[in-house]
Structure 1
């Protein structure tokens, strides 16, 4: 103990001596938590809204540069599990986020429900089938129906639940064309390669080539919720938290609402 006190006194004396003769003691620079490059993995249905929000965020946080990977939530989950350098994940369903949380791959206390959505039926704008509801998809004149692959695309998961609850899942099997993302489903309907498709209301809203013909009753499928969380392996967790907070700001929420999203409570 006496030796430690002597060393401390000598250290203090040396510092004072150096200052007295004009030397400057330079402390290590603090790490700037507001200067980073982020990679955000986000559900495909968020692309248009987030691309509009991005310049607003970067203007408010000029030290943080953001890149994005938009895809179906299932493949994004798998990429994170395989070590992709993702900083923040925004899923279109709780299933994928739950899997990452169970594997301790997200920072649990950063998980928040961000948005909500609804499931709709769309048809090509020039369709002559006169569709007005989901049950009509079982009619013989409807030959091809596009929906997301249920195992990897949340919109497909919701669609399967809907069709099963309507009692028409088995009848629709021969007609189904599976897409690898909800935007892929939308494109299939836009091109006329499907008579109808099941997408989110926000996707139908951005396309001039399809018509929304029905909205699924919310009690016939799992609630559509978009959770987000910082990825545990992120090297930029403080900047990722800053980005997540911005997505919940009034400025960002106004953009989400304009695209038709609901704000999660």
Structure 2
């Protein structure tokens, strides 16, 4: 092999190594630059937001959505105690108002995005289950699954309905209280509770329960889902862009049974 060819091959090899190193640096930098948005969201939003994540990340590959699902009250308290989040998506206005009053929301970022309904559910094909809210007071109904009213919005709405129907005093002593709406749903699905009160969207999610009745009109305040960027977010611009996307993709919410604002 001539000296000229040898020099050419050595030079080519060095160039390829440099290009490979450059690509590795670029890939490493790209991964490091990816933004993780922490979203604290009501448990009743679990399924719909997971679909949103797939759609949003496909269109915005520089963003990864990380969800913390739970009761809105527990999430609110975690945020108040310094828990990290970029976005809060609540199943009720009260929790959002308290964070706003505490100065923990980015001014002007709140959006009221959705509405929901409250329903009484029973195990599918259970002919002995109560057929309406009035029957919850019957002695033949041993347990009623509810969200914990002190911290779970669906429990607060349920208590409001039962008080307005003059049923609370008869029902409260046989109520079993869940930590969020999905626990209430799971108890009725498994038959551990013969009935429960959940959101219409959660009932629609399950093939193991059926809706016995809807809460009567005017028996509770409107179920509104607000979302906002948190003041302590390190990614305010990306968080606001995500909220704007949620507002634009109403089709996904309606497919899961939510009413859009």
- Contact 1:129/1:141 (<8 A) preserved: no
* Map of 2:83 onto structure 1: 84
Q: How many residues align?
A: 229
* 2:108 matches 1:122: no
State the Cα RMSD in Å.
Answer: 1.1
- Contact 2:122/2:129 (<8 A) preserved: no
Deviations for 1:79-132, whole angstroms, at most 9, x for unmatched residues? 111111100000000000000000000113000101000000000114232522
Q: Equivalents in 1 of 2:107, 2:165: separation in Å? A: 36
Q: Name stretches of at least 5 consecutive residues in structure 1 with no aligned partner.
A: 1-33
* 2:44 matches 1:51: no
TM-score computed with the length of structure 1 as normaliser? 0.84
Q: Equivalents in 1 of 2:129, 2:200: separation in Å? A: 19
Q: Equivalents in 2 of 1:128, 1:174: separation in Å? A: 24
TM-score computed with the length of structure 2 as normaliser? 0.86
Runs of 4+ in 1 over 2 A off after TM superposition: none
**CA distance 1:66–1:155, change in 2 (3 Å):** same
* Map of 1:192 onto structure 2: 191
- Contact 1:37/1:66 (<8 A) preserved: yes
Q: Equivalents in 1 of 2:94, 2:70: separation in Å? A: 16
The Cα shift of 1:260 comes to 0.4
* Map of 2:101 onto structure 1: 102
* Map of 1:262 onto structure 2: 259
**Helix, strand or coil: the match of 2:161?**
helix
Q: Name stretches of at least 5 consecutive residues in structure 2 with no aligned partner.
A: 1-32
Q: Equivalents in 1 of 2:195, 2:94: separation in Å? A: 26
* Map of 2:24 onto structure 1: none
